[in-house]
């Protein structure tokens, strides 16, 4: 007999959970009226943390991120005498390199005064310890995660198209050689490859699904399952993304090590620490001798396979690195892997001066002279570089201690940036690291007024940097600036007072021109000439309704915008909008066409450029979007739509309905020659582009 659960869809169940919550009585203490009173008291007292809390442990909470002790107590960094029982066992796997000095000849440089090279592990601990009691507020409010920190395309689309051909591999079979054109992951900087959940090499499609990569052969207009690669992983581990580079397939995975631990309570006995902790809101747990806690350690592991014969991938090796996966880039045959080891100060006790809590790369601790220290910080950003064909050989590894940073990678450099508030002003601190042949070394640091709001607003071109920022003055009025820097990160130029009262929504740089969208109730597109980096000049400006969130160069003289149409009076969003700008003459920007997709309010294309297929050579614009049903407000459906640019207008070529349980963000559209493919985590469907996108085949992946 079937129970009632069998008849419930996921949505029904979610609705039921929601309904059950609506029966809860909301306590008076959190009503707006009470909150108003409390906030009034608080602003008078100017003490944020003297708010009475009902539970003791709450104030001692820490970010439960990777590498954190997950339990009822957290140990701050302890002096060397602290108990040994709290040492995390995983650390034993990791050793300090015999070669404490850099393998590379060049010693690491300071990044200005923003990040300085540690003199010793002791200095690392001291910074972590002093940061431990500082409750970092910034970390909650970042606006973008590192995964979509992007770099803007700077060599134009022609270069990208050239690469398509170059990418066509030297394939053994005749069928492979026939593939003359195929889509690649939508990148921001030509030459800086990015991982994704779906890739094609012109014949095979590689799809990430939870714990495996499925390889599908598309030859002879068919869709044939070839094989799947399953790295040897635990049940909680997952495959995140992949790279395909000629005969190499690289999988990025996260591995979790969880262990139950018995710990001896240590900090209630130390008076000085008790003082420290209480001052920042910590309430020592008196009377607790032993505390059971769960420690979770996360490491990112790259699995590398030879796919000369995709039917029989052969395992070549792994590279592993402590911490959560943040992002990665591939430049030539070098992979740069970024992971975050969170809350270093609380992950373990300080037990020795041999690097007790220092993250490892391929089992080897990062040497102290490869660790960059800020004034204050508690998280470690680990960056390593490897050659794809030699994963066991780490070219370089560094760690930057920080409270929160965003990552941007250009052709020649890595930039780390974050915003700070000083004297009611927002600032963005930027550090530049050169990445020559895999060697990572700081160049300098600089700071600019305002904050970087769009991932495409920061861009490197010919080793020089350009940055667009938005700031608010004391009256809450926004204003925007464009800064230029030379190769040593010295500021060379500034264009300020751009679009007062508006914010930067989207930006894109093409060669020596910056294009950006600001928005309040209307959407001006600006073009700025950057050919003289000491004197950026405003070239043109164009106002239309709505705003774009994503910009893409189209045929070298047009700019495609994907965003929203809005009501200029109320600001209310009317639906997703595609717009094509004519930028052939930046002093006379024009709109060629725009279309509004009715009842469509969400597309991952707005926020994740990897979800966008935009290829002017093939004349394809594709993305998934959610639509509200016109008959039933609560119902929605999802389509993958493809548009072409024909005779000066957008033309819808196809709109494929996606099943309700499809996860919009994991849908990718791709093409190989004249076949279009829609790939989600459940299936691949092929369409004949020469025949009105008629559906051809479908390959369902096993559940």
* Residue of the chain from 45, 64, 81, 165 that contacts other proteins (CB under 8 A): 64
Pair 550, 455: CB distance under 8 Å: no
Phi/psi region, residue 660 (left: phi>0; alpha: psi -120 to 50; beta: rest), is: alpha
Which residue stretch of 47-55, 353-361, 370-378, 427-435 sits at the interface with other proteins (rule: CB under 8 A)? Answer: 47-55
Number of residues that bind other proteins (CB under 8 A): 92
* Residue of the chain from 140, 271, 290, 630 that contacts other proteins (CB under 8 A): 140
* Residue of the chain from 25, 170, 289, 633 that contacts other proteins (CB under 8 A): 25
Residues of this chain, 215-274, that bind other proteins according to CB under 8 A: 238, 240, 254
Task: Name which of 71 and 511 has its Cβ closer to other proteins.
Answer: 71
Task: Name which of 117 and 344 has its Cβ closer to other proteins.
Answer: 344
Pair 282, 58: CB distance under 8 Å: no
Write phi, then psi, for 359 (nearest 5 degrees).
-65, 155
Which of 446, 348, 322, 337 lies closest to 121, judged by CA? 348
* Residue of the chain from 3, 99, 287, 633 that contacts other proteins (CB under 8 A): 3
Separation CA 86–CA 74 (nearest Å): 10
Task: Name which of 476 and 648 has its Cβ closer to other proteins.
Answer: 476
Bridge partner list, 554: 558
Residue with tokens 């969400």: 602
Residue with tokens 């690491």: 108
Task: Name which of 42 and 255 has its Cβ closer to other proteins.
Answer: 42
Task: Name which of 25 and 271 has its Cβ closer to other proteins.
Answer: 25
Write phi, then psi, for 93 (nearest 5 degrees).
-70, -15
Task: Name which of 117 and 427 has its Cβ closer to other proteins.
Answer: 427
| Number of neighbours of residue 532 by Cβ within 10 angstroms | 12
* Beta strand spans in 88-223 (E): 116-117, 198-200, 204-209, 212-217
Residues of this chain, 152-211, that bind other proteins according to CB under 8 A: 197, 208, 210
* Residue of the chain from 359, 380, 604, 669 that contacts other proteins (CB under 8 A): 604
Pair 72, 64: CB distance under 8 Å: no
Q: Does residue number 63 form part of the binding site for other proteins (CB under 8 A)?
A: yes
Pair 231, 265: CB distance under 8 Å: no
Q: Does residue number 422 form part of the binding site for other proteins (CB under 8 A)?
A: no
Which of 352, 329, 327 lies closest to 340, judged by CA? 327
Write phi, then psi, for 16 (nearest 5 degrees).
-65, -40
Task: Name which of 51 and 95 has its Cβ closer to other proteins.
Answer: 51
Q: In what order do the strands lie in the sheet with 491-498?
A: 458-461, 464-472, 478-485, 491-498
* Distances in whole angstroms, Cα of residue 343 to Cα of each of 34, 103, 304, 503, 538: 34, 28, 30, 33, 44
Which residue stretch of 63-71, 78-86, 272-280, 694-702 sits at the interface with other proteins (rule: CB under 8 A)? Answer: 63-71
Task: Name which of 271 and 633 has its Cβ closer to other proteins.
Answer: 633
Task: Name which of 25 and 98 has its Cβ closer to other proteins.
Answer: 25
Which residue stretch of 8-16, 165-173, 386-394, 481-489 sits at the interface with other proteins (rule: CB under 8 A)? Answer: 8-16
Q: Write down the least CB distance from residue 250 to other proteins, Å.
A: 16
Pair 162, 298: CB distance under 8 Å: no
Residues of this chain, 274-293, that bind other proteins according to CB under 8 A: 293
Separation CA 468–CA 427 (nearest Å): 12
Q: Write down the least CB distance from residue 255 to other proteins, Å.
A: 13
* Residue of the chain from 101, 162, 259, 294 that contacts other proteins (CB under 8 A): 294
* Residue of the chain from 145, 172, 488, 585 that contacts other proteins (CB under 8 A): 145
Which residue stretch of 39-47, 91-99, 106-114, 534-542 sits at the interface with other proteins (rule: CB under 8 A)? Answer: 39-47
Residues 6+ apart with CB under 8 A from 365: 94, 95, 96, 97, 355, 358, 359
Separation CA 114–CA 445 (nearest Å): 6
Residues of this chain, 623-662, that bind other proteins according to CB under 8 A: 661
Separation CA 695–CA 688 (nearest Å): 7
With H, G, I as helix, E, B as strand and everything else as coil, classify residue 33. Answer: helix
Bridge partner list, 290: 264
Residue with tokens 């940055």: 467
Q: Does residue number 469 form part of the binding site for other proteins (CB under 8 A)?
A: no
Which residue stretch of 11-19, 98-106, 479-487, 651-659 sits at the interface with other proteins (rule: CB under 8 A)? Answer: 11-19
Task: Name which of 144 and 529 has its Cβ closer to other proteins.
Answer: 144
Residues of this chain, 658-687, that bind other proteins according to CB under 8 A: 661, 663-666, 681
* Residue of the chain from 38, 163, 449, 683 that contacts other proteins (CB under 8 A): 38
Q: Write down the least CB distance from residue 460 to other proteins, Å.
A: 24
Q: Does residue number 65 form part of the binding site for other proteins (CB under 8 A)?
A: yes
Which residue stretch of 16-24, 89-97, 437-445, 650-658 sits at the interface with other proteins (rule: CB under 8 A)? Answer: 16-24
Which residue stretch of 40-48, 149-157, 362-370, 430-438 sits at the interface with other proteins (rule: CB under 8 A)? Answer: 40-48
CB-count burial class (<10 Å; 0-12, 13-18, 19+) for 502 = buried
Task: Name which of 16 and 537 has its Cβ closer to other proteins.
Answer: 16
Residues of this chain, 509-528, that bind other proteins according to CB under 8 A: 519
* Residue of the chain from 123, 136, 144, 257 that contacts other proteins (CB under 8 A): 144
Q: Does residue number 311 form part of the binding site for other proteins (CB under 8 A)?
A: no
With H, G, I as helix, E, B as strand and everything else as coil, classify residue 289. Answer: coil
Pair 265, 288: CB distance under 8 Å: yes
Q: Does residue number 453 form part of the binding site for other proteins (CB under 8 A)?
A: yes
Task: Name which of 316 and 340 has its Cβ closer to other proteins.
Answer: 340
Reported as type and span, the H/E element at residue 167 is helix 156-167
Residues of this chain, 329-368, that bind other proteins according to CB under 8 A: 340
Separation CA 530–CA 494 (nearest Å): 10
DSSP state letter for 26: P
Token code pair at residue 569: 């009076």
Pair 643, 578: CB distance under 8 Å: yes
* Residue of the chain from 387, 573, 590, 683 that contacts other proteins (CB under 8 A): 573
Task: Name which of 150 and 533 has its Cβ closer to other proteins.
Answer: 150
Q: Does residue number 45 form part of the binding site for other proteins (CB under 8 A)?
A: no
Task: Name which of 441 and 566 has its Cβ closer to other proteins.
Answer: 566
Q: Write down the least CB distance from residue 138 to other proteins, Å.
A: 8
Residues of this chain, 489-508, that bind other proteins according to CB under 8 A: 503, 505
Q: Does residue number 702 form part of the binding site for other proteins (CB under 8 A)?
A: no
The alpha carbon of 117 is separated from its chain's Cα centroid by a whole number of angstroms, namely 26
């Amino acid at each position: 007999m079937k129970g009632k659960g069998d008849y419930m869809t996921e949505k029904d169940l979610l609705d039921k959970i929601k309904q059950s919550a609506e029966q809860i009585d909301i306590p008076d203490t959190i009503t707006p009226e009470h909150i108003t009173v409390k906030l009034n008291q608080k602003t008078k007292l100017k003490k944020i943390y003297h708010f009475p809390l009902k539970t003791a442990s709450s104030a001692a909470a820490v970010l439960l991120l990777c590498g954190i002790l997950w339990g009822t107590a957290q140990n701050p960094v302890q002096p060397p005498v602290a108990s040994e029982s709290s040492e995390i066992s995983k650390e034993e796997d990791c050793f300090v390199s015999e070669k404490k000095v850099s393998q590379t000849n060049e010693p690491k440089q300071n990044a200005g005064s923003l990040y300085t090279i540690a003199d010793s592990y002791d200095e690392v601990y001291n910074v972590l310890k002093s940061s431990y009691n500082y409750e970092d507020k910034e970390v909650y409010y970042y606006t973008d995660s590192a995964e979509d920190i992007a770099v803007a395309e700077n060599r134009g689309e022609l270069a990208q198209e050239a690469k398509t051909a170059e990418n066509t591999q030297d394939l053994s079979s005749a069928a492979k050689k026939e593939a003359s054109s195929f889509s690649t992951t939508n990148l921001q900087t030509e030459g800086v490859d990015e991982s994704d959940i779906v890739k094609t090499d012109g014949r095979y499609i590689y799809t990430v699904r939870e714990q495996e990569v499925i390889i599908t052969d598309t030859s002879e207009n068919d869709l044939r399952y070839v094989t799947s690669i399953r790295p040897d992983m635990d049940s909680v581990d997952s495959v995140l993304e992949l790279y395909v580079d000629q005969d190499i397939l690289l999988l990025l995975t996260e591995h979790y090590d969880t262990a139950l631990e018995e710990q001896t309570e240590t900090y209630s006995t130390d008076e000085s620490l008790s003082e420290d902790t209480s001052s920042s809101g910590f309430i020592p747990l008196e009377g607790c001798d032993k505390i059971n806690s769960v420690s979770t350690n996360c490491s990112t592991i790259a699995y590398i396979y030879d796919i000369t014969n995709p039917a029989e991938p052969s395992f070549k090796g792994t590279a592993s690195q402590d911490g959560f996966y943040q992002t990665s880039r591939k430049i030539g045959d070098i992979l740069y892997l970024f992971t975050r080891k969170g809350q270093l100060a609380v992950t373990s006790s300080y037990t020795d001066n041999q690097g007790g809590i220092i993250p490892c790369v391929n089992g080897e601790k990062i040497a102290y002279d490869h660790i960059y220290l800020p004034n204050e910080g508690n998280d470690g950003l680990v960056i390593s570089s490897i050659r794809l064909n030699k994963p066991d050989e780490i070219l370089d590894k560094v760690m930057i201690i920080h409270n929160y940073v965003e990552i941007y990678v250009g052709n020649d450099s890595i930039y780390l940036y974050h915003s700070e508030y000083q004297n009611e002003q927002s600032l963005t601190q930027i550090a530049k690291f050169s990445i020559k042949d895999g060697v990572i070394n700081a160049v300098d640091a600089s700071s600019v007024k305002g904050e970087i709001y769009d991932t495409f607003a920061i861009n490197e071109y010919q080793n020089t940097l350009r940055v667009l920022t938005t700031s608010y003055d004391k009256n809450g009025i926004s204003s925007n600036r464009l800064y230029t820097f030379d190769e040593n990160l010295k500021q060379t130029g500034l264009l300020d007072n751009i679009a007062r009262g508006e914010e930067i929504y989207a930006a894109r740089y093409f060669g020596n021109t910056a294009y950006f969208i600001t928005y309040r109730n209307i959407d001006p597109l600006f073009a700025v000439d950057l050919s003289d980096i000491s004197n950026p000049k405003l070239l043109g400006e164009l106002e239309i309704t709505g705003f774009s969130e994503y910009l893409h160069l189209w045929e070298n003289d047009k700019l495609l915008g994907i965003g929203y149409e809005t009501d200029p009076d109320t600001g209310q969003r009317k639906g997703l909008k595609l717009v094509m700008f004519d930028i052939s003459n930046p002093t006379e920007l024009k709109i060629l066409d725009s279309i509004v997709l009715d009842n469509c309010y969400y597309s991952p294309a707005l926020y994740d450029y990897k979800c966008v297929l935009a290829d002017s050579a093939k004349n394809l614009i594709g993305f998934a979007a959610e639509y509200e049903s016109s008959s039933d407000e609560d119902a929605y459906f999802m389509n993958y739509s493809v548009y072409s640019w024909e005779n000066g207008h957008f033309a819808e070529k196809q709109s494929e309905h996606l099943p309700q349980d499809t996860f919009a963000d994991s849908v990718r559209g791709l093409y190989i020659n004249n076949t279009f493919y829609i790939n989600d985590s459940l299936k691949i469907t092929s369409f004949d582009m020469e025949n009105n996108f008629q559906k051809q085949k479908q390959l369902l992946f096993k559940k």
